[in-house]
């Protein structure tokens, strides 16, 4: 597959990312957490980054995004921007 659609929440610390992952796993809406907490402008859209292909995101992010199944959440991953929780949408 050449393209994926994902949403993410971007925070400064691994501790914040783990807390968000726990909240989502216990039933809180990923989109509402993204709107409330994400440092990325995509937070206003519930974290939705839209569809992207290989080579468009930083390597660590891309590798994780393409490995997820639809609806699956990533563990916290670190990039130069901070800590991300990624959700595969399509």
Which pLDDT value is given to residue 1?
Answer: 58
Task: Return the closest-CA partner of residue 36 out of 18, 53, 11.
Answer: 11
Domain extent, residue 31, equals: 3-88
Q: What is the dihedral of CA 58, 25, 49, 16, to 10 degrees?
A: -60
The domain spanning residue 80 has which CATH number?
3.10.50.40
Please tell me the total count of domains within the chain: 1
Low-confidence residues of the chain, pLDDT below 70? Answer: 1
Number of Cα atoms under 13 Å in the Cβ half of residue 67: 11
pLDDT per residue as tens digits for the range 29-47: 999 999 999 999 999 999 9
Q: What is the DSSP string of 18-49?
A: HHHHHHHHTT--HHHHHHHH-SSGGGGGTTEE
């Amino acid at each position: 597959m050449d393209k994926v659609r994902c949403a993410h929440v971007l925070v400064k610390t691994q501790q914040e990312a783990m807390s968000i992952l726990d909240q989502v796993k216990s039933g809180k809406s990923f989109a509402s957490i993204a709107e409330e907490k994400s440092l990325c402008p995509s937070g206003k859209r519930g974290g939705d980054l839209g569809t992207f292909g290989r080579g468009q995101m930083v390597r660590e992010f891309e590798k994780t995004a393409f490995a997820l199944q639809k609806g699956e959440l990533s563990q916290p991953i670190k990039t130069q921007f901070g800590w991300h929780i990624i959700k595969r949408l399509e």
